[in-house]
C-alpha cells in the first residue's frame, strides 16, 4: 500500500519521453546527459526498473549545465 507522501512523490515524476519533449532532444541525448549527472530516479517494478525524473531537479541541473527547457511537459506520469 502506498502512503500519501509516496504517491505525491510518484506524481511528480516524468518519463524519459516527457523529458525528451521538455528539452526537445532525442533519447540518446537524455542518456548522455544522465551519464553526465542529470538527476535520475529508478523506480523498481515487477517487470523492469523504470527511469524517471523529478521536474524541479532536472530543471535545476539544466540551468547549471546550460541546457534550455524548450517545450511544455505533457501530463505527468500517474502511478497505477
DSSP string, 40-71: -EEE--SS--EEEEEHHHHHHHHHHTT----S
Q: Count CA atoms within 13 Å of residue 28 on its CB side.
A: 0
How much is the pLDDT for 33? 97
Q: What are the pLDDT digits (tens) for 15-37?
A: 999 999 999 999 999 999 999 99
- More confidently predicted of 69 and 39: 39
Indicate the pTM of the whole model. 0.76
Domains of the chain: 4-64 (1.10.10)
Amino acid at each position: 500500500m502506498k502512503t500519501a507522501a509516496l504517491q505525491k512523490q510518484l506524481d511528480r515524476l516524468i518519463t524519459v519521453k516527457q523529458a525528451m519533449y521538455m528539452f526537445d532532444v532525442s533519447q540518446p541525448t537524455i542518456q548522455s546527459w544522465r551519464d553526465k549527472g542529470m538527476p535520475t530516479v529508478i523506480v523498481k517494478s515487477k517487470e523492469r526498473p523504470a527511469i524517471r525524473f523529478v521536474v524541479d531537479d532536472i530543471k535545476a541541473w539544466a540551468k547549471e549545465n546550460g541546457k534550455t527547457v524548450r517545450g511544455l511537459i505533457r501530463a505527468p506520469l500517474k502511478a497505477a
